Structure 1
Amino acid sequence: MRFRDFHRNVQVRIGLSFLSGTANNMVLPFMSIYFSGKLGDTLAGLVVILGILAGVVAGIIGGYYSDRFGRKKLMLAAEIGWMLCFLLMAAANSPWWESPIATFNLMIIVSICWGIHGPANEAMLLDATQPEERKFMYAIMYWVNNLSFAIAGMAGAFLFKSYLFELFIALSVIGLITGIVTYVFIQDDYKPQIMAKSNKTKGKRPSIWTNYRQVLLDKTFLIFTIASLLLVSVEFHLGNYVAVRLGKEMIDAPFLPWLTNAWRIDGFQMLGFIRTENTVLVVVLSVFMGVLMRRFKDRNVLFIGYACYIAGYSYLAYSNHPALLLLSMLIATIGELMYVPIKQAYLGNMAPDHSRSSYMALYGMVYRGATFLGGLGVILGGMLSSWLMASLIAISGVIGMGMFYSILSQLEERKQGYFAAANSSFMEANKAGLDSTS
């Protein structure tokens, strides 16, 4: 399959994802530094926490209404919302007016807009693809997102401090372009369905609670989500526990342990090398790995990838040898490149047509949960030895891998379009919700 074979919606969204991702990553990862300098560490942390909470709530609400009214309307509303927010942020950081408090509040609204946009965008991509296309689609999107992050990280480091006003103007312009392109070129083929059991309930819409109760009754999806949380958290320890441990333990270490007079580095430099290695490897190897893995069965690639990923990141939580840390990151990244497209394709096949946005909204909590577990790892790391922390990280990953294995047959069934469990839970929850409103 080739890129030009995708539905126009997918082609447009991949292009916009690269454009907006590059612009956003030039600014937003550095905003914690901005708020820390302007408002202090406490408020800098507060904006992160409030942003996560606002995104979760907005995602749940957005997923519900996207399944009721269609994808395009909510995507446009969110894109217009963050365009206006970035324009106001530019005004609040202009040569004529400076207001960190206004910027603080606008960042929360931006998080709300992302929460609304995410489930609708994910569902629209699934609406426009067939199961056999999704692994390739997610492989391309994974590569595009990492490429935009790599470009933006370098550019933002040089531009953020001196050209913040201009960067916010650029973000608002790109938001305008994104909204126009979405309005003109995105085709919303989704037709909302309202299920009813009788004339008495015909036309009634199930409540938001009934809608999400349906999703939570889907045991396969629930296991998939918990397994994903455990596996994603393995990587999230890199920016938390591993970063703190390396900063404390690696002091002027020789790059090659057997050559004590060789080049020496500290933990912060090591962390920078590891992160750069991960990003470069993803950008360089993504397409190659996708082509190479086509000849093997998806289930074999998935679990071998998981094993490499867990082993690599677990060793990062233990070792202080620079060369071996780089080797373990190579192994972890190869594993990540193997499993991500396949796992995302399974996720795309998980939800029935009538509730894709709702499923994507709840799945979005995986990354918020992984952020929480990453922070918890820092606390535990202050009390436990590095080998014990590495063991706990490995155990959580292995449990997640085991949970995936337990539902593999159901995942394969949904790949073929069989949704008996999900549809029965929808009918049960829908009937209960309609009865309660009668």
Structure 2
Amino acid sequence: MRFRDFHRNVKLRIGLSFLSGTANNMVLPFMSIYFSGKLGDTSAGLVVILGILAGVVAGFVGGYYADRIGRKKLMLTAEIGWMICFMGMALSNSPWFSSPWLTFVLMIFVSMFWGIHGPANDAMLLDVTAPDIRKFMYAIMYWMNNLSFAIAGIAGAFLFKSYLFELFIGLSFIGLITLVITYFFIDEVYQPQPDCEESGHREGKMSMWSNYQMVLRDKTFMIFTLASLLLVSVEFHLGNYVGVRLEKEMVAAPFIPWMESSWTVDGLKMLGFIRTENTVLVVVLSVFMGMLMRRFSDSKALFVGYACYIIGYSYLAYSNQPWLLLLSMFIATVGELVYVPIKQAYLGNIAPDHARSSYMALYGMVYKGATLLGGIGVILGGWVPSWMMASLIGLSGIVGMVMFYAILAQLEERKVKAEMSHKASKATGSPASVTV
């Protein structure tokens, strides 16, 4: 399988995700600093909380309607919203007008439109990819996302403070490019039944509730989601508890302890080093690890990846030895590179054709929940020693891994069914459809 063999939708979405992701990451991760300086720490925290809530609610609504009116319509709605919001944020931070509060409100709307776009985009990618090539697709997307994050992190650190107006103008322009390409070149291959669009208002509300009840009753998917939450939270402790611990405990640690003249490093610098190491390793090793893992079955590679990932991140929560921290991040990153594409491919096989966006919307709660657990880890870390926190983080990952093992047979069964369904659909030439 080669990149050029992908459906045009996939190639365009990978390119657009890299472009918009690079632009967004030059601005959005730094907005907490902006609001803290302009409106105070309380407002900075409030925009994060309200943004998460807006994204969750919009994700559920967007997931439901993307399964009923099509993916492209929801994506276009969100992209128009982004463009208008970024134009408004540029105006609110222009040489002629300044309004941090308007910027605050527009940031909430940006989070809402992200919530609308995500499930529709994820489902659209699955609509046009065969089950056997999804692992390769997710590997490429994972690599591209990390590359864009690395580029944007460096550029944003230099440009954000002095060129915020210009950055928002750039975001507006990229929003326009994304909108134009989606409208003219992205194909809507998912065709829902017309009667789904003609439901009454009251019936629509009941249908949405019933729709998500149906998703919640899928035990395999719910165990998959909860296991993913526990495993993803292992990594999320890096930016929360691990960062706080290193800043407090690592003052001037010798980089190589057995050398008297060794260079010393403090906690904040060490955190920067291991974050940079993670990004660089992902960019450099993604292709190599993908080729290496072809020799092994998905199930074996998945659990080897999980084991390395859990061991690496758990040790990061305990050690203060710089070279061991770098080694731990190497092990954790290798594990991450192995398991992420496989797990995402399994996720794509779980969701039925007629409810993919709804499943993706509910799965999006994984990252919100992992963020919450990361915050709880900071609080808990103030009361218990680091060895206990490392044990709890490791236990969280192990429980998640055991849960995955418990549903592995069902995941393989759904993978086979998805492949058979795709072959049958390809043979008849009929698009995916939904019956309600």
Provide the rounded CA distance (Å) in 2 between the counterparts of 1:50 and 1:144.
Answer: 28
Provide the rounded CA distance (Å) in 2 between the counterparts of 1:295 and 1:325.
Answer: 30
Matches of residues 266-285 of structure 1 in structure 2 within 5 Å? Answer: 266-285=266-285
Partner residue, 1:425: none
Provide the rounded CA distance (Å) in 1 between the counterparts of 2:186 and 2:167.
Answer: 27
Partner residue, 1:35: 35
Provide the rounded CA distance (Å) in 1 between the counterparts of 2:387 and 2:212.
Answer: 40
2:282 is paired with a residue whose SS is helix
Provide the rounded CA distance (Å) in 2 between the counterparts of 1:178 and 1:292.
Answer: 35
Shift of 1:233: 0.1
Shift of 1:418: 5.9
Deviations 1:257-279 (A, max 9, x none): 21243100100000000000000
Partner residue, 2:324: 324
Deviations 1:230-265 (A, max 9, x none): 000000000000000000000111001212431001
Paired residue type of 2:212 = Y
Provide the rounded CA distance (Å) in 1 between the counterparts of 2:414 and 2:180.
Answer: 35
Deviations 1:271-326 (A, max 9, x none): 00000000000000011110111111111110000000000000000000000000
Partner residue, 2:356: 356
Structure 1 contact 139–290 (Cα < 8 Å) conserved = yes
| Mapped pair 1:103 → 2:78 | no
Shift of 1:192: 1.3
Partner residue, 2:124: 124
How many residues align? The count is 416
Structure 1 contact 193–354 (Cα < 8 Å) conserved = no
Partner residue, 1:413: 413
Paired residue type of 1:293 = M
Structure 1 contact 282–333 (Cα < 8 Å) conserved = yes
Matches of residues 30-429 of structure 1 in structure 2 within 5 Å? Answer: 30-193=30-193, 207-417=207-417
2:95 is paired with a residue whose SS is coil
Structure 1 contact 55–111 (Cα < 8 Å) conserved = yes
TM-score (norm 2): 0.93
Shift of 1:28: 0.4
| Mapped pair 1:20 → 2:11 | no
Paired residue type of 2:30 = F
Deviations 1:92-134 (A, max 9, x none): 0000011000000000000000000000000000001010010
Paired residue type of 1:332 = A
1:209 is paired with a residue whose SS is helix
2:417 is paired with a residue whose SS is coil
Provide the rounded CA distance (Å) in 1 between the counterparts of 2:321 and 2:238.
Answer: 16
Provide the rounded CA distance (Å) in 2 between the counterparts of 1:299 and 1:207.
Answer: 36
Relative distance call for 1:418 and 1:134 in structure 2 (3 A) is closer
Structure 2 contact 240–374 (Cα < 8 Å) conserved = yes
Paired residue type of 2:277 = E
RMSD: 1.7
Provide the rounded CA distance (Å) in 2 between the counterparts of 1:361 and 1:328.
Answer: 33
Shift of 1:207: 1.3
2:183 is paired with a residue whose SS is helix
Paired residue type of 1:412 = E
Shift of 1:387: 0.3
Structure 2 contact 349–418 (Cα < 8 Å) conserved = no
Structure 2 contact 76–179 (Cα < 8 Å) conserved = yes
Provide the rounded CA distance (Å) in 2 between the counterparts of 1:260 and 1:128.
Answer: 59
Provide the rounded CA distance (Å) in 2 between the counterparts of 1:65 and 1:260.
Answer: 64
Structure 2 contact 131–418 (Cα < 8 Å) conserved = no
Paired residue type of 1:267 = G
TM-score (norm 1): 0.93
Provide the rounded CA distance (Å) in 1 between the counterparts of 2:286 and 2:32.
Answer: 30
Provide the rounded CA distance (Å) in 1 between the counterparts of 2:207 and 2:260.
Answer: 66
1:226 is paired with a residue whose SS is helix
Structure 2 contact 58–116 (Cα < 8 Å) conserved = yes
Partner residue, 1:422: none
2:402 is paired with a residue whose SS is helix
1:367 is paired with a residue whose SS is helix
Deviations 1:137-158 (A, max 9, x none): 0000000000000000000011
Structure 1 contact 220–410 (Cα < 8 Å) conserved = yes
Provide the rounded CA distance (Å) in 1 between the counterparts of 2:254 and 2:122.
Answer: 46
1:417 is paired with a residue whose SS is helix
Provide the rounded CA distance (Å) in 2 between the counterparts of 1:353 and 1:135.
Answer: 18
Provide the rounded CA distance (Å) in 1 between the counterparts of 2:142 and 2:116.
Answer: 21
Provide the rounded CA distance (Å) in 2 between the counterparts of 1:210 and 1:274.
Answer: 45
Shift of 1:353: 0.4
Q: Give the unaligned 5+ runs of structure 2.
A: 420-433
Paired residue type of 2:326 = L
Provide the rounded CA distance (Å) in 1 between the counterparts of 2:31 and 2:138.
Answer: 28
Paired residue type of 2:122 = E
Shift of 1:194: 7.8
Provide the rounded CA distance (Å) in 2 between the counterparts of 1:292 and 1:304.
Answer: 13
Paired residue type of 1:402 = V
